[in-house]
A = this chain, B = another copy of it.
C-alpha cells in the first residue's frame, strides 16, 4: 500500500485492480489487524490501543493514520484523549472472513 496522494498520481486513473489491492492491503498487516480487533468491542484511546497491541505510541499512531485515511476507523477528541472506533460496518465482516480462513 502506498500513500494515497502519490499513488493516485503514479497509477492510471481509475485503475480497478490497484484500488482493490490497496483495499486488501489495509488488512495485510498484523499491527493494523490487532488494532481493528481491539476496536471490535468499542472505541478506545490511543494509549489503550498501544497497550493492547504491544507496540509504541509512534507506531500505533502511524497505523491509525492509515486506517483513518482509508476510512476504516474514525477518531473523535474528548478532552485530552482521542478515541478511535470502527468507521465501516463491513470491516467486522471482512475480519471474520479472514478469521474463518485461518481457523480451517
- Chain A positions near chain B (C-beta within 8 angstroms): 1, 15-25, 27-34, 37, 90, 93-95, 97-99, 101-102
A and B contact pairs by CB, cutoff 8 A, 5 listed:
A17-B30, A20-B95, A20-B99, A24-B28, A28-B28
Interface of A is mostly: helix
Which chain B residues lie closer than 8 Å to A30 at the CB level?
A: 15, 17-18, 20-21
Q: What is the oligomeric copy number? A: 2
Report the minimal beta-carbon distance from A18 to chain B, rounded to whole angstroms.
5
CA distance A93 to B101 in the complex (A): 12
Which chain B residues lie closer than 8 Å to A98 at the CB level?
A: 20, 23-24
Report the minimal beta-carbon distance from A42 to chain B, rounded to whole angstroms.
19
In the complex, are the beta carbons of A23 and B90 less than 8 A apart? no
Q: Choose from B25, B90, B93, B102 the contact partner of A20 (Cβ within 8 Å).
A: B102
CA distance A29 to B27 in the complex (A): 12
In the complex, are the beta carbons of A23 and B102 less than 8 A apart? yes
